[in-house]
Amino acid sequence: MAKTTVTRSCGHSETVNISGPYAGRERQSEYEATKLCRPCWQAKADAEKAAANTQAAEAAQTAGRPELTGSEKQIAWATTIRETMAPELQKGRVAVNENPQATDEYRAIINAIIDRIEAETSASWWIDNRDVHPLRIIRAAATADETAKLTAIVTAAKA
């Protein structure tokens, strides 16, 4: 392993570890020169995150979604998560409403669950569920009574 100083694409110099066969070190050094230095990379990532948060906040306001509660950072992050998940929840709503096999009661229950999810105002809830597929969130958000009714409807339809 050798340490070498490279001039990054942002113009800053950094010392990097170059490993591997001697013949490949020049190529690896050239590759390292195409990247941003750590502070510039972090600044770029922060700017992109801020832009995404601003865009999500504008979309949430346009859509009339309720304001979230939590710290400023939580709210910014959760708003982005919620706006990313909103189209998927909408797809689930459309799929149920357009399903000719779904009964009116089944549609009503699923729509009520999705309404409850969309009305969630806790930023920490959105953050905690950021990696959960929207269909799993719908299933998890159902009350025991709703789950029992949905199960009965599906069981009756299969019979």
pLDDT in tens, 115-131: 999 999 999 999 999 99
Q: Given a cut of 70, is residue 74 above it in pLDDT?
A: yes
Q: Given a cut of 80, is residue 96 above it in pLDDT?
A: yes
The CA-based angle 123-41-1, given to 5 degrees, is 125
In the block, which residue shows the tokens 């400023």? Answer: 72
If DSSP codes are grouped into helix, strand and coil, which group holds residue 16? strand
Quote the tokens at residue 134.
């929207």
Mean pLDDT value of segment 36-53: 92
Say how far apart CA 1 and CA 9 lie, in whole Å: 23
If DSSP codes are grouped into helix, strand and coil, which group holds residue 17? strand
Which pTM value belongs to this model?
Answer: 0.72
Q: Given a cut of 70, is residue 1 above it in pLDDT?
A: no
Mean pLDDT value of segment 87-102: 91
Mean pLDDT value of segment 132-146: 89
Quickly state the pLDDT bin for 23 (edges 50, 70, 90). Answer: confident
Parse the chain into domains and list their residue ranges.
Answer: 2-35, 39-158
